[in-house]
Amino acid sequence: MRDIEKICNEAIAWIIKTVTDANAKGIVLGLSGGIDSAVVAALCKKAFPEDLLCVIMPCHSNPIDEEHAILVAEALKLSVKTVVLDDAFETMKRLLGASENDPKLSIANIKSRLRMITVYYHASINNYLVAGTGNKSEVTIGYFTKYGDGGVDLMPIASFVKKEVREIAYYLGIPEIVITKPPTAGLWENQTDESEMGMTYDELDTYILTGNASETVKAKVDNMYARSEHKRRTAAVFVPSEKV
C-alpha cells in the first residue's frame, strides 16, 4: 500500500474538517467488533479524542461480537455505550406483521436500521456527526443496508478496499483477532460476508483495483454494482420540463 502514515494523517485531517464545517462537535459510530468499525474508531479517536462516542448495539447477536468490540474499545481507550436492541427488534417484527416466510434479508435489515436510529439519536443529543464504517469493496457492490449502516454523514474508509483496510488496521494497532477473523455483518447466525457475496474479498478487491478476475466474478460484481447504484445516490428527484 501507499504511505500508510500519510494516508492516516490525511484521513484524520479530513474527519476534523468535515465535522468542523458542519458546526458539529464530534463523532458517533457503531462499534461492531469487526475490523472496519475498529479502523474508523481509531481514526476518529485521533481526530476527536474527547468527543467520540462508540455505540455497541447487540441485537440477538453472537456474544463474541460484543467481546471483540469491548476489546477494541479497551485497546484504543474509547468512550463506549451499549444499547441492547433485542426487544426493539422483536417489537418491530410484531408491529410489521413479519413472519418466517418473509425474505431473511428483509427481516435482518430491521436490525441495521434500528442501529441507524440509535446512533443518530446520540448524534443529535451531542451535536455529533455519524461516521460510517463501509469500505470500498462493500460500497462498490452495494453490500450495505440502505438507511441502515449506509445512513451516515461521513465515510472515512470508503476509498479503501478490504485488504487495504487490513493494512491500516495493523498500522493503527487494532487487536490481531479482530483483523484476522472472518468478516461478518452479524445479521443472522453463522452469516459471513464472503458466503453472502458469493466471492472472496481478495477476488473482489483484485477486480476493483486491477480489473482482473474470472469471468464469473466479473459478471457478478458488474451486476451487483449496477443493481445497487440507487444505494450510492441520494433519492432521485423529479424535475418537470417547465418551471411550475
Residue 129 pairs in a beta bridge with 27
pLDDT classification of 37: cutoffs 50, 70, 90: very high
**Residue 99 clears pLDDT 80, i.e. is over it:** yes
pLDDT classification of 243: cutoffs 50, 70, 90: confident
d(CA 241, CA 224): 32
**Average pLDDT of the chain, as a whole number:** 94
d(CA 105, CA 68): 24
Domains and their CATH numbers in the chain: 4-232 (3.40.50.620)
Span 182-222, pLDDT tens digits: 877 666 676 688 888 889 999 999 999 999 999 999 999 99
Strand positions, DSSP E, the chain = 26-30, 52-56, 80-82, 128-130
Q: How far is CA 230 from CA 126, 225, 227, in A?
A: 31, 10, 8
In this prediction, residue 182 carries a pLDDT of 84
d(CA 26, CA 43): 12
d(CA 103, CA 109): 10
Span 111-124, pLDDT tens digits: 999 999 999 999 99
Nearest to 47 by CA among 6, 14, 80, 7: 14
Q: Which residue has the higher pLDDT, 138 or 243?
A: 138
Please state the pTM of the whole predicted model: 0.94
